Amino acid sequence: MSNDKNITNMPYAKLIKKDEPSKEQQDRPSQEKDVGIQIAEKLIEGIDEIRKYNKECRRSQRLDESPYPFYEKHITEYANYDTWAIEEAINLLLYRHANCHLLDENHTTLKKIIDRSVGPGGTLQTHETGSFLNKKRLVKPSNLIHWAQQKGIKIPNPLLREFHPSGLTIESPTTKATQKRIRDKQERHHALREFIHDIEGRTKQLNRNWSIDNLPVTKNQFHEVFYKRYPRVKKVAAVTLSDELPKLGVRFSPGRRSKNFNQLESLFCDEIKGK
């Protein structure tokens, strides 16, 4: 009863004020709204990060494709650079994007060849840049192309075109040297067959009981007479020449010494005298 009396005696303004929401209650919806906005913004940021990550993954997968599908356009860009990092150079020689992360057997093999070709006395000229803890080895594209040609390393056609516009028909020094060795060997074998034929003919004329598969001379004596008669033939060591002779049916009788009289020279003394 006393409570009712107290309420009755309270001023009307206080009664109205008591029924109204407090300031904290009035601010609560806006605070809850702010928290909701923050959560939504965080979700949007998270979704954007996921999209960026997925995009980077797809980009990384494209960069690691071998061969790189956009290599020609890519190499046109890189051809304008004065220098390439060694890792970039390796990837470009392998028909890959310069920033490819694919470390397979081809990459490892080419990297070993390059590592053994740089430094003092090396065939590939490079220079270092950067701080002590972050050194980077750089190479000029022209030096790299020249080195790869010398080593007989296959160079992608788009890369070769950038540095040799008419260069798809250019032979590397290694290829030229190999072809020359083949030609020299063919010429030597032609001269050897002719020389062997002449030995057989002259021994018959002189009634010497010689056999091509048991010549009474040493390897060195044969080598000496052969090159006296054929001075224009590319000279090789006596061991190399003797290794080729069995295929042509020539063998030497055992127990002979080079200090002994060179009987083969006596067969051609009229041609090689004074040589």
pLDDT surpassing 70 at residue 121: yes
Q: Hey, what are 51's tokens?
A: 């999209």
Q: Residue type at 233? A: V
Q: Are residues 186 and 250 in the same domain?
A: yes
Q: Are residues 263 and 219 in the same domain?
A: yes
Q: Are residues 116 and 97 in the same domain?
A: yes
Kindly calculate the radius of gyration of the chain based on its CA atoms and give it in whole angstroms.
44
Q: Are residues 203 and 264 in the same domain?
A: yes
Q: What is the pTM of this model?
A: 0.41
Interval 202-254: pLDDT, tens? 888 888 888 888 888 899 999 999 999 999 999 999 999 989 999 889 998 88
Would 237 be classed as within a structural domain? yes
Would 22 be classed as within a structural domain? no
Would 8 be classed as within a structural domain? no
Q: Are residues 156 and 89 in the same domain?
A: yes
Q: Are residues 234 and 262 in the same domain?
A: yes
Interval 176-207: pLDDT, tens? 777 888 889 889 999 999 999 999 988 888 88
State residue 195's pLDDT score.
Answer: 92
Q: Hey, what are 138's tokens?
A: 């750089």
Q: Are residues 163 and 223 in the same domain?
A: no
- Domain end: 169, 196, 216, which one? 169
Q: Are residues 251 and 216 in the same domain?
A: yes
State residue 83's pLDDT score.
Answer: 92
Q: How many domains does the chain have?
A: 2
Would 64 be classed as within a structural domain? no
Would 145 be classed as within a structural domain? yes
What's the CA gap between 252 and 246, in Å, rounded?
10
DSSP assignment of the chain equals -HHHHHHHHS-HHHHHHHHSPPHHHHHHHHHHHHHHHHHHHHHHHHHHHHHHHHHHHHHHHHHT-SS-TTHHHHHHHHTT-S-EEHHHHHHHHTTS-TT-----HHHHHHHHHHHTT-STT-SS-EEEES-SSS-EEEE-HHHHHHHHHHHT----HHHHHHH-TTGGGPPPHHHHHHHHHHHHHHHHHHHHHHHHHHHHHHHHHTT----GGGBSS-HHHHHHHHHHH-TTSPP--HHHHHHHGGGGT--B-TT--TTS--HHHHHTHHHHTT-
- Domain end: 153, 169, 185, which one? 169
Would 45 be classed as within a structural domain? no
- Domain end: 132, 148, 169, which one? 169
Q: Do 85 and 170 contact (CB within 8 A), yes or no? A: no
Would 159 be classed as within a structural domain? yes
Q: Are residues 268 and 179 in the same domain?
A: yes
Residue 83, domain extent: 71-169
Helix 141-151, helix 173-205: angle, nearest 10: 30
* Average pLDDT of the residues in 70-84: 87
